[in-house]
Amino acid sequence: MTNAFTLLLLLLLVLFISNGSEAQNKTQPGRPKAPVGKAKAKAKAKAIPDPDALPPAAENCNGVYISYDFHSRKKEFPRVKNASAQSWAFNATAVVLNTGKDILKQWKLFIEFQHDEILVNVNGGVLFDGEDFPASVGNGTRIVGGSNADLDTSINTANDLTQIQAEILISGTQFGVRTNGIPMPKTIKLENDGYKCPPPTTKKSSMWACCKRDTKSKAKEKKTKYLPRQKGDLTIAYDVQQAYDNNYNVEVTMKNNNPLGRLDHWNLTWEWTKGEFIYSMKGAFTREIEYSGCVNGVAGQYYKDMDFSKVWNCQKKPIISDMPPEKINDTELGKIPYCCRNGTILPTLMDESQSKSVFQMQVFKVPPDMNKTAIFPPEKWKIMGILNPDYQCGPPLRVDPARTPDTRGLDATVIGLASWQIVCNITKSSKRSTRCCVSFSAYYNDSVVPCNTCACGCDDTDHCNPDAKALLLPPEALLIPFQNRTVKTLAWAKLKHFHTPKKLPCGDNCGVSLNWHIASDHKGGWSARITLFNWETTTFQNWFTALQFKRRVGVGFEKVYSFNGTFLPKLNHTVFMQGIEGANYLLGIDNSSNPKVPGKQQSVISFTKKFTPGIKIAKGDGFPSKVFFNGEECSLPTQFPIGNGNPRPSDKTCETIQTPLSISRKDSSLSSLHIQELFGETHLKCVEL
């Protein structure tokens, strides 16, 4: 009886549990029934997400799949009421995935941002324009893969995503976004030659497109494994000559390709990305010989027996300079072609043999890159001179290996192991003022129009007005430093009844200034005098200056008398001048005299009116529209002296006002030079002083 009762209780308990389970399943209609056997294992596999799973658009793309995914944003400080001025920190991811059958060489992704974005970090790619972080990219930016930017195919790699896909993690700041808005770019596209991208599809916080081979593209197929060498104002080659498991030898070549480009006392810097360090150098040196970074880092742990006191530099961002001329025959530091010129790189127009600079390094690596093929060139290259144009350098791009003649005298070509190229182009910096300026004067006007106020920047404005126009000068005031001109300037203003503000304008603060003086004007031609003033202590050897004019005035160039002069018709009708042999030094300022005397060079230039009969010199046509000194574009006055052409001087100046002209569609085929000539029409606002 007891056993039967116990069995009955167990049966009731099983029925209760079974009914409870069914009731629970009924309350959750989306929940599947408990699987059994193979079905159970299959359901379990479906429940685990595949980390390599791709979106459907990528799965169906036969070409290159690109995407941009916005992840999150957070309001930054300061908090402001104006929504358009409020800044937000954001994070996003961009992807370039090669889903085609061709290797994608040197991928380049364009993201057209539209919310005044400022990028503070890009992981997995580098900015193509070489900008420093934080980088303003409100109008868009191009991101490339840097030193190893080729994406292989799925076929060649057994679908290894690490070799066929680039994932770029982006973080930065953006402005003017609604609280509930999703700040997406305007568009994204692949900018590699031979590919065509449709307008991207946008869905909430994702944007994607499938770029395919353009069958109509005229881009030539590359027959070599790597890209051919590119063109630029200044190109830097990073040519690996020898490679070992833990180090390699490399030659770095900088070549000037711009007829108005130049570097003096160049300083070159970059950023190592894999912990490398410079063991030895020839033809150049690091500004700081530092090895504590190696001793206290990974290198010190790996190279336990190395004497690091013999290492040149262990900094992540070394600064490198050219050797002085006295080291050219030094067997340890020199003895290589194109080195040891104090960092001077001239235009080919002046001296082709001095248009490039070369140095060599032995670079040591650290784990895990301990094999002969694991070579990663440094990134974030920058180069600058003391009074030269600004260069903006792109990332290192893998190119065809260097080919050099055999050094043993054989009729053979030596092909290097690996090469990268860095292309640098001249840019007009918005972060600094120019470093040279120009003043205007003429035989038919008493006054000199000086350099602009703060033309080369103003550090101290407590005692002067940085916004006031520069006061007109008597001619002799050009010969003395600005700080000694006040008495002469005020006396001249009083004599000529010129207005003087209570707080006088600041000086130009330029290290080099040039004066352009109209010396004569007659029926058949005219002449001018150019004077160069050096207010720095540095002497400029092999200096040059270049002038460009509106209305093709430079076409009438005849002769420069104390300099060497050349007319360059294909370069915006430029008149190019340099010192003659033996007089090609622009000396520094003489500090021993009182007042100080600047270094000076001067020459007269003659022009004919045979090819420009309609020009009016006395109305301003004789003044240049652009002036360069050693490649640096100088600040020009906003006004110039005018007259009636008679010897009797006047006190009238004219201010130039630029009015843009629209260009019709039919003009779009014109070259950039013609468009520049058509784009602006100059009007004159003349004032009797």
**pLDDT attached to residue 676:** 27
Whether the pLDDT of residue 185 is over 70: the answer is yes
Cis amide leading into 367 (omega within 30): no
Q: What residue type is 626 in one-letter code?
A: K
Q: What is the pLDDT of residue 25?
A: 45
Q: Is the pLDDT of residue 650 over 60?
A: no
In whole angstroms, what is the distance from residue 205 CA to residue 71 CA? 7
3 state SS of 23: helix
Q: Give Cα separations from 146 to 128, 183, 219 (angstroms).
A: 8, 27, 22
pLDDT tens, position by position, 200-224 = 999 999 999 999 998 876 655 555 6
Rounded to an integer, what is the distance from CA 82 to the centroid of its chain?
33
With a cut of 50, say whether residue 680 has pLDDT above it: no
Q: Is the pLDDT of residue 31 over 90?
A: no
d(C-alpha 506, C-alpha 457), whole Å:
10
pLDDT of residue 3: 58
Q: Given a cut of 90, is residue 664 above it in pLDDT? A: no
Report how far residue 476's alpha carbon sits from residue 515's, in angstroms, rounded to the nearest whole number: 12
Q: What is the mean pLDDT of residues 436-447?
A: 95
Per-residue confidence at 681, pLDDT binned at 50, 70, 90?
very low
Q: Which residue has the tokens 């027959």?
A: 223
- CA angle at residue 324 from 323 to 328, to 5 degrees? 80
Q: How many CB atoms are closer than 10 A to CB 120?
A: 13
Q: What is the pLDDT of residue 689?
A: 37
Q: Predicted confidence band at 23 (pLDDT cuts at 50, 70, 90)?
A: very low
Non-local (6+) Cβ contacts of 486 within 8 A are: 504
628: helix, strand or coil: strand
Backbone dihedral angles phi then psi of residue 54, each to the nearest 5 degrees: -105, 155
Asked whether 212 and 63 are in contact (CB, 8 A), the reply is yes
Confidence band, pLDDT 50/70/90 cuts, at residue 288: very high
Contacts of 395 (CB under 8 A, 6+ apart): 126, 127, 128, 130, 144, 145, 146, 147, 149, 379, 422
pLDDT value, residue 6: 58
Mean pLDDT score of the chain: 86
403-412 pLDDT tens trace:
988 888 888 9
Can you spell out the DSSP letters for 244-307? -SSEEEEEEEEEE--TT--BSS-EEEEE-SS--EEEEEESEEESS-B-HHHHTSHHHHH-TT--
For the residues 343-355, what does the mean pLDDT come to? 95
* 360 neighbors 339 (Cβ within 8 angstroms): no
Fill in the amino acid letter for 164: I
Tell me what pLDDT residue 178 has. Answer: 81
How many residues does the structure list for the chain? 689
pLDDT by residue (tens digit) across 481-520? 998 999 999 999 999 999 999 999 999 999 999 999 999 9
Please report which confidence band the pLDDT of residue 27 belongs to, taking 50, 70 and 90 as the band edges.
very low
Q: Is the peptide bond before 396 cis (omega within 30 degrees of 0)?
A: no
pLDDT of residue 4: 58
Nearest alpha-carbon partner for 320 in 260, 369, 275, 378: 378
- pLDDT score recorded for residue 669: 29
Pairing of strands 206-213, 195-196: antiparallel
Q: Taking a C-beta distance cutoff of 8 angstroms, is the pair 565, 532 a contact?
A: no
- For residue 682, pLDDT over 60 is answered with no
> 């040149």: which residue's tokens?
312
Share of the chain above pLDDT 90, in %: 71
- Whole-number CA gyration radius for the chain: 34
Return the bridge partners of 529, or none: 517, 604
In tens, the pLDDT along 219-240 reads: 555 556 788 888 999 999 999 9
pLDDT band per the 50, 70, 90 thresholds, residue 461 = confident
CB atoms near residue 181 (< 10 Å): 12
Confidence of residue 36 (pLDDT cuts 50, 70, 90): very low
DSSP 154: H
pLDDT tens across 401-439, in order? 999 888 888 889 999 999 999 999 999 876 678 999 999
| Most confident of the ranges 35-44, 50-59, 570-579 | 570-579
Helix, strand counts (H, E) of the chain: 9, 40
For residue 82, count CB atoms less than 10 angstroms from its CB and return exposed for 0-12, middle for 13-18, buried for 19 or more: exposed
Q: Which position has the higher pLDDT, 660 or 133? A: 133
Q: Is the pLDDT of residue 273 over 70?
A: yes
Residue 624: CB partners within 8 Å, gap ≥ 6? Answer: 438, 516, 547, 548, 549, 636
| Biggest distance spanned by C-alpha atoms of the chain | 142
Mean pLDDT of 563-580: 94
* 126: nearest Cα among 105, 151, 106, 144: 144
Task: Point out which residues pair with 67 in neighbouring strands.
Answer: 95, 208
Smallest Cα–Cα separation from 560: which of 544, 539, 582, 571? 544
Rounded Cα gap, residues 422 and 381, in angstroms: 8
CA atoms of 307 and 318, how far apart (whole Å): 20
Check: pTM over 0.75? Answer yes or no: yes
Query: What pLDDT does 9 receive?
Result: 56
Residue 645 has pLDDT above 90, yes or no: no
pLDDT number for residue 671:
29
